[in-house]
Each structure stands twice: as structure tokens, then as C-alpha cells.
Chain A
Amino acid sequence: MRLVLETRSQTPPALALGAPLLAVALTLVSAVLIFAALGQDPWRALQVYFIAPVSDSWGLQEVAVKATPLVLISVGLSLCYRSNNWNIGAEGQFLVGAMAGGWLALATHGAPNGPWLMPAMLAAGAAGGALFALIPAVLRTRFGANEILTSLMLVYVAELLLDWLVRGPWRDPQGFNMPVTVSFEPEAIVPLLLEGGRLNVGTPIALLVVVLAAVLVGRTLKGVEIRLVGEAPRAARFAGFDTNRLTLTVFAISGGLAGLAGVLEAAGTVKMLQPGLSPGYGFTAIIVAFLGRLNPVGCLVAGVFLAITFIGGENAQIMLRMPLDATRVIQGLLLFYVLACDTLLLYRPRLVASTPA
């Protein structure tokens, strides 16, 4: 007996809903087994992990806060990946965006500023991220240097640049030489949407970006170009599309969105610049992009889903005193199940009697 996959001509609608549900069901079964093996009450553990994060307004706000950067970055990355441009340096673009926007906040610190500051910071963050993303894009289009390598290497460079800035020129003079900038002034902090929580303007911006990207991909010539270059590069060239220019465009868009996410994080949740500004959002967003099938709305769903698993992991540490590593294992398993069940949408698995090849 062996397993073979048969390509489906079309996905039955019931399955489109059923596959994710099956993934969740499988995850729950395994999670119960793991929790039991770790000596936890499985039902309480499930409740803490998956229900508690979304059971009240505060929890929902936190899910949105955690999902916002993931969604923003992954939407941009999905445009890249669709057109076969392998930007895996979103983490660095995120940090450069935070630095570019943060620079404005620091430059105006203690000086007269006004309501123009926040939009200017967001624009600077997006521009910074876009410019930083253009480095690997140009290196590829001009010299043919592989963008996987260059964009990844630049992540470390961005981390070290931030480290140098906050320990050197941008250090808070009153900060006892700690590696932090001053705390941003109120005008330089992303406005909250609701009192008493952390939900800020960044979340509606991310939603807007999802809508815009969906329109771009589905309804515009640019969207056709992106898809065609990804799926049939030769046909795209015959159709007269300039693949080099497209590379620059999608890198700039994805870098810009990552930079926007960076400045929103710096000016929204952290309210200053410091090392460790990102818990790996730029890398996690790659998973989000693929879980969302490189589709903007899919990225939104996947981003929220991953945010819940991160917060569930924190909850498990706090309420069940489970180690972080156990929560990572569960998160990894969860992703495996989701990916495996995704297969059902495209293929029909079938067990056949093994025949010698």
C-alpha cells in the first residue's frame, strides 16, 4: 500500500472549509496528547492556548496588535513570491523602516511639532524599508546577484546598524548609557483606537493594505503582470513585460510595507528604538504569506491565526507554567497540520496497492 496524490480539476467548496477544520481537529487531538504527556489537564490547556486569547476585548485587541505587523509584511511578501522574487529580508526592512521613522521622532524631540509628524513618520518608515529592499533588487537586476543571499545578509546588517545607532548617536543622553533612544513624544506615538488597550491605527492601516493589495492582484494589469511573471516568465517577456522593473517594483512594495510595519511597531507598541525591536516578524511573515497561499486576504487570516498561536504560547507559559519550548513544538506541529491539510484542496490522496516501479 502506498499513498498517491491525484490532482483535482477543481476544489469542492465543502473541502475549502473542511480542510482547515480538519487541520484544526488534528492539531487539537495532538495537542491533547502532548498536553497529557506533559502532565497538563488537556481541556484546560486547550482553553488556555486557543480560547483565552480571543475570549474578551483585551485579548482580541492583543491578537490584532500581534497580527498587524505579520499581515502588513506578508501581504508585501506575497506579491514578491508570486512574481518569483525571493525577498527573505523583510526582517531587515522592518528594522530600517523603524529607524527611518524613528529618526523623525528623534529629530523633532523637544522641538515644536504637530499632527503632521505621525504621517511623516509613517511615510519615512515606508520609504526607508522600500529603499533598503531596493538594494537586493538592484543587485539582482544589475549584477544578477541572488536576492535570497543578499536580502538575508542585509537583515544582520540592519540589526547591527540599529544596535550601533541606539548605543551611539541616538542614545538617550539621560538614559544611563542604556542602549535605548528617548521615549517618543505623544505626537510621535501611533494613536490608539480604543481607550485602555493597545489597539492602534496600525490595524486599520493593515486592513486597508489587504484590500488594496487584493484589488491590485485581482483587478489590475499590474496584478496580471505579477502573476504572469511568476507562473510563466517567458510568456511574460513575450507579452512585453519588463521583468527587471517588476522586480524593483515588488521589492519596493514589500520593503515599504515591512518598513511601515516597523515604524508602526516602534512608534506604536515599543514607543522608542531599542535592540530586539522585532521578535522575528519578518521571518514569521514568510510563513504567514505561504499559509495564506500568497493571497492578501489569505495573509490576513493566516496572520491572525499565527498571532493566536503566539499569544496562546505566552498564555500557556503564564497559566500552565509550560516551558516556551513546548509551546514552540505545538506551534510547529500546528503549522505542519495546516500545510498537510492544504494538500487536500489541490489533490485527492488515495491509497493504492504498491506496484513495483
Chain B
Amino acid sequence: MMLLEAIILTVITASTPLLIAALGELVVEKSGVLNLGVEGMMIMGAACGIAAAIFTGSSAAGVLAAILAGMAMAALFGALTLGLAANQVAAGLALAIFGLGLSGMVGAGFVGAQRAGIGKIEVPLLSDIPLLGPVLFNQDPFVYASFALVFLVARFLNRTKAGLVLRACGENHAAAHALGYPVLRIRFLAVLFGGACAGLAGAYMSLVLTPFWSSGMTGGRGWIALAIVVFASWLPGRAAVGAYLFGGITILQLHAQGAGLRVPPQLMSALPYLITIVVLVLIMRLRRGGAAGPASLGVPFVPDR
């Protein structure tokens, strides 16, 4: 029981940055924009987060700086792809390169610097429930935020008018424009939200998971977040499933290694990727057809005045 609880706790912390970044990108893609630069925004969040936290001595300032850094990167992307209708795929990939470089410059002065991580917040009483208590009610603030985000994003997209309009922009931007909605403005806000989430995910890595700076420390998690959005068929609840599945396999294979399972570690490391593919195929088989992405995804929109 103790081991199970420990494994679940580790799975949640490992999956949280993936989940937060994926939820942000999900909203972006729902509005019809494909931003492949999640990794670049995330690493900027990580660098600016730890830099600001060390500089000011405040974790809150660090988190805020990370969110702003992610948003600034997203704004750059938005200006290019929405303001100038530039190609989204290429701009997103360029953003990833740019972010990797810029984060290295921001972080250069903080290599080897150290600060304490952000601690856990225990919910009184509830955290005493066996298994569920520690897993759900004794976590760091980011984990609570990720739980809330799943709920809020799902609610926003499905139950609010603003969410409906955002989805309309993603499905058919010409029609949304004809109905008088400011497609570009809505998309820009969605892109900013995606940047904020990616920045927050980066802050989680440099302020909570491993509180220090090291070049390229996001280690490709931005790309995995992109894959999770696709895995989720653009549904927030399923993004949580995808993130926990991926994180879960990652942790379980580490445990299997530690327990002395005689399997090549490369195969173990490949398992999260392979199992994600297999699960996706199974899901698609179960309900044939499956959900397609937003119809206008990646297509630039230029309003005729």
C-alpha cells in the first residue's frame, strides 16, 4: 500500500507539467491555431521562473515571471502568425529554437544557483484519508492548479458562450467572422493562454520538481504535451488521462528497473511512447472514426474587411 501510494504521488508530479502545458495548447488548438513552440515557451518559463525567484527571493514572483515569459513568447508567435498570417508550423518551430537559446542566456547567470523548492499544501482532515488523502489533498499548489485547470478548461469550452465562440473560430473561422466575432483577437487571447500555461509548466520544473537551472532542463516535455493534445482528441478530461498514462508508464518503468527486472533499459525507456501509441490505436478501434481536430487548425485567417 505504501509503495502504491508513493508511485501514484510520483506519477502525479511527473505528469503535472505535461498536463498543464497540454491544457494550454489544447485551448490554442481549439481556437484554430497550431503552436508547435510549446517547448520554447516552457523552457523560457523555467528559466525566467527560477531567475526571478532567486532575484526577488519570492516563489510567487518566480511563478508570475514564468507565466509572463510564456505569454511574451506566445505574443511573439501570435504577432507573427495572427498579425502577419505567417506559417504557424514554421513559426512554432522557430519559437522553440529561439526559446532554447534565450532561456540559456537568461539562465547563464544562475547555473549552479540553488534555492528551496515550493512546498506542499496540506488540506486539513481530507489529507488523512488513506491513499486518496495524500494523493489528492497533500500536494504542491501546481498540482491543485492542474486539477482545477482540467475542470475549468472543460467547463469553459463546453459550457460558456465564450468557449463556444472560441471553438467556432477553430472550426470555421470564416463563419465566425461573418457572425461578427473578432476571430484574430480571440485566437490571440487563446495563444496567450497557451503561453501562460506553458510558462507555468516550466516554472513547475525549475521551482518545484528540481529547483535549480540547467540548460535545456525541460528535456522535450513540450513536445510530449503536443502529442497529448492529439491523444486527447482535444478533450480536456482525456488530456489528463493521456498525461497520467504517459507519466505513469515513465514512473513504472523506472520502478521495474529499480526492482531489478532484467530488460534492456532502452526498451523500458521506450515503453511510454510505445504504450501511448497502442492505447491510441485501441481507443480509435473502440469507437471507429474518432474525433478529428478543429477544422481550421493551422490555417491562417485574414479577414476581408
Q: Hey, which bits of chain A sit against chain B, CB under 8 A?
A: 3-7, 81, 139, 143-146, 148-150, 152-154, 156-157, 160-161, 163-164, 167-168, 283, 286-287, 290-291, 323-333, 335-336, 339-340, 342-343, 346-347, 349, 357
Closest to B289 in A: A144
Contact at B280–A150, with CB atoms within 8 Å?
yes
Q: Hey, which bits of chain B sit against chain A, CB under 8 A?
A: 76, 80, 83-87, 89-91, 93-95, 97-105, 108, 180, 182, 215, 223, 226-227, 230-231, 264, 266-267, 269-270, 273-274, 276-277, 280-281, 284-285, 288-290, 293, 302-305
- Residues in B neighbouring A146, C-beta threshold 8 A: 230-231, 280, 293
- Residues in A neighbouring B103, C-beta threshold 8 A: 325
For the complex, what is the distance from the CA of A144 to the CA of B233, rounded to whole Å?
12
- Residues in B neighbouring A164, C-beta threshold 8 A: 264, 266-267
For the complex, what is the distance from the CA of A331 to the CA of B302, rounded to whole Å?
27
Given A163-B266, A343-B86, is A332 in contact with B280 using a C-beta cutoff of 8 Å?
A: no
Contact at A290–B274, with CB atoms within 8 Å?
no
For the complex, what is the distance from the CA of A3 to the CA of B8, rounded to whole Å?
51
For the complex, what is the distance from the CA of A340 to the CA of B277, rounded to whole Å?
36
Contact at B94–A324, with CB atoms within 8 Å?
no
Minimum distance in angstroms from A83 CB to a CB of chain B:
14
- Residues in B neighbouring A144, C-beta threshold 8 A: 284, 288-290
- Residues in B neighbouring A339, C-beta threshold 8 A: 80, 84, 86-87, 90-91, 94
Contact at A157–B105, with CB atoms within 8 Å?
no
- Residues in A neighbouring B280, C-beta threshold 8 A: 145-146, 149-150
Contact at B277–A287, with CB atoms within 8 Å?
no
For the complex, what is the distance from the CA of A139 to the CA of B80, rounded to whole Å?
34
Contact at A287–B93, with CB atoms within 8 Å?
yes
Contact at A343–B85, with CB atoms within 8 Å?
yes
Closest to A325 in B: B104
Contact at A143–B97, with CB atoms within 8 Å?
no
Minimum distance in angstroms from B173 CB to a CB of chain A:
14
Contact at A145–B101, with CB atoms within 8 Å?
no
Contact at A342–B86, with CB atoms within 8 Å?
yes
Which of A150, A167, A324, A346 has the most chain B CB atoms inside 10 A of its CB? A150
- Residues in A neighbouring B231, C-beta threshold 8 A: 146, 149
Contact at B277–A326, with CB atoms within 8 Å?
no
Contact at B277–A153, with CB atoms within 8 Å?
yes
Minimum distance in angstroms from B239 CB to a CB of chain A:
12
For the complex, what is the distance from the CA of A275 to the CA of B97, rounded to whole Å?
22
